Chain A
Amino acid sequence: MQHGKYRFIVGFLTAPLAIYGLFVIWPFIQSIYYSFTDWSGLSPEFKMVGFKNYTRLWDDDVFWKSLQHSVMLVVLLPLVTLTLALFFAFMLNVGGRRRKNAAIAGVRGSAFYKVVYFFPQVLSIAIVALLFQFAYNPNSGAINSFLKAIGLDSLQPDWLGDPDLALWCIFAVLVWCTVGFFVVLFSAGMASIPKDYYEAALLDGANRITTFFKITLPLLWDTVQSGWAYVGILALGAESFAVVQIMTVGPGGPDYSTTVLPLYVYQKAFRDGQAAYATTIGVALLLVTLLFVAVVMKLGRRERLEY
């Protein structure tokens, strides 16, 4: 198969590599270079300023707030999302009534649950964010009027307007739209675990909680680990940007209580005309992301189980 091989390889790789290089790789490299300049983005002139942007970053309170919120999201979002998803998937797969022959069984209607749970996954994050912005509306939103309807008139929080609550509102929306995907994913993984394992364990007197930790979780660990990385990257990137930018006042408010790193990059570059400084914040975000991926790889490493 040697004939014309290299001509073919070059022919097939040129177009994809050109587009990928020009629109993805090249800007990435440039952005690291720009973080050492004083480029405003508005004029083509700039000069090298060494680490000046980085020392400015060190003293920037808004940066530290954004970092704090992004770190909170990257730690808590995978934890809460994956725990809920594992719980629901386990309920779907072993929560059913006993049928003849089987020691464990899925709940009735599990197909229905999976269809409904998956809804948020096919919707755009922009639509979800807009929807919840109205649901959180303190005067006529779905949530407060629901609370009123069930007799909780005194409990009418300001949600997105309350600096102590706003970030948790954002968090809840991110959980809402990511759990379903993982319920379906984990559920498929759990369904492929042989039933005899559970039968044997239950026969030996193990309870269901034990079977979850001793059988289900170890056999599902690879999927959980990649899910962990996936949700974390999502919490640091485009998803949290969209939700905060669309839903919050400011955006990022009130009083910087919801600002996150990608939003701060966006605002510095395209609102304040400080492109170089924006790339510096972006480099910090890159470091947080790489650190997170490294931690997931390290903590997540387990012996691979074959079954």
Chain B
Amino acid sequence: MKTTDTPPADTTGERPPVTKTAPAPAPQEKATGRTLNVFSHGFLILWAFMVAMPLLWAVMTSFKTDKEIFSSPWSLPDSLHFDNWSRAWTSANMSDYFLNTIIVVGFSLLGTMLLGSMAAYVLARFEFPGNRFIYFLFIGGMSFPIILALVPLFYVMQNLSLLNTLPGLILVYIGYSLPFTVFFMTSFFRTLPTSVAEAAFVDGASHTRTFFQVMLPMAKPGLISITIFNFLGQWNQYLLPTVLNTEPENKVLTQGLVQLAVSQGYKGDWSGLFAGLVMAMLPVLAAYIVFQRQVVQGLTAGALK
């Protein structure tokens, strides 16, 4: 950032500070600001380019023929080969992978939110012996390496006949999503005023009813954030299904794609694989672009606590 001595490249369009409230900067400071601007745009554009290019390259490649992919990786496709997409969707089982993912994420998201906010509510609002212990038991799960537990878990699942089944995977997703959900929702419930719940209770509502009809609606902003967080985490999950769900017809999207990469490698159907990749990528990116603000809030909320 040592650009102080360089003369500014661009002097047009620069307005002097007009109001009196602004401190009049020294001319040298002004020059620094200008070169800094060029400099910072340069770096920011470079990184934006590096992030966007691989993604655009994948989209482009998914419309090419295999021959084009190998002979000219960076040129535009001669025509849009939509057959890559239909081939990936049907013969490469992408439709099944999507369906499995939707089932697993749907149920586990519901379960995580329900059980997670129930536990968090009790831990945040009620004094009882063991409260702290249970809270830290949940929190501790956030920093432990999951792979360590997966070795015995594999055999626990086998003994319960849950290995390679979708219900088994759903339960495991719930279990491993609980630590962060409980952590986040506990601190959220603590910020809510106690008077409303007390009033409801005085009016004769049971604890359970107070929770579902008064507290949960009040906790909506927190619930939205953590739902988005868990949705992306579970939708993109790779480690858990790779270990616990190896039955070919039960595979979820992420492992299905890796499977596809291996099998298409033998068949040489790279265009079909790229179509599958882009197919998996686009819905999430599209949803992100539409719900940008909520997604960013959901994912950064935990880090700012």
Report which A residues bind B (CB closer than 8 A).
1, 4-6, 8-9, 11-13, 15-17, 19-20, 22-28, 30-31, 34, 41, 84, 87-88, 91-92, 94-103, 107, 112-127, 130-135, 139-142, 145-146, 149, 176, 179-181, 184-185, 188-189, 199, 202-203, 207-209, 223, 226-227, 229-230, 233, 236-238, 241-242, 245-246, 262, 265-266, 269-270, 275, 278-279, 282-283, 285-286, 289-290, 293
Among the stretches B79-87, B88-96, B117-125, B217-225, the one at the interface with A is: B117-125
Number of A-B contacts (CB under 8 A): 308
Contact between chains at B54 and A142 (CB < 8 Å)? yes
Chain A residues within an 8 Å CB radius of B145: 236-237, 262, 282, 285-286, 289
**Chain B, interface SS category:** helix
Interface: B213 (CB within 8 A): no
Besides the known contacts A13-B122, A113-B44, A130-B277, 5 further A-B residue pairs in the complex with CB atoms under 8 A apart: A19-B175, A101-B19, A237-B147, A262-B147, A282-B148
What's the minimum C-beta distance from B59 to chain A, rounded to whole angstroms? 11
Interface: B110 (CB within 8 A): no
Q: How extensive is the interface on chain B, given as a class? A: 35 or more
Interface: B104 (CB within 8 A): no
Query: Contacts A8-B208, A16-B118, A223-B303: A122 and B288 contacting too (C-beta < 8 A)?
Result: yes
Contact between chains at A124 and B238 (CB < 8 Å)? yes
Chain B residue with minimal CB distance to A232?
B143
Contact between chains at A208 and B1 (CB < 8 Å)? yes
Interface: B9 (CB within 8 A): no
Contact between chains at A270 and B243 (CB < 8 Å)? yes
Chain B residues within an 8 Å CB radius of A185: 300, 303-304
Instruction: State which residues 275-302 of B face A: CB under 8 Å.
Output: 277, 280-281, 284-285, 287-289, 292, 295-296, 299-300
Interface: B193 (CB within 8 A): no
Can you give 24 contacting A-B residue pairs, CB < 8 Å? A9-B122, A13-B118, A13-B119, A19-B174, A23-B174, A28-B148, A31-B152, A87-B43, A91-B44, A95-B39, A96-B37, A98-B14, A117-B48, A124-B237, A181-B300, A199-B23, A226-B303, A233-B143, A245-B242, A265-B151, A266-B150, A278-B151, A279-B148, A279-B152
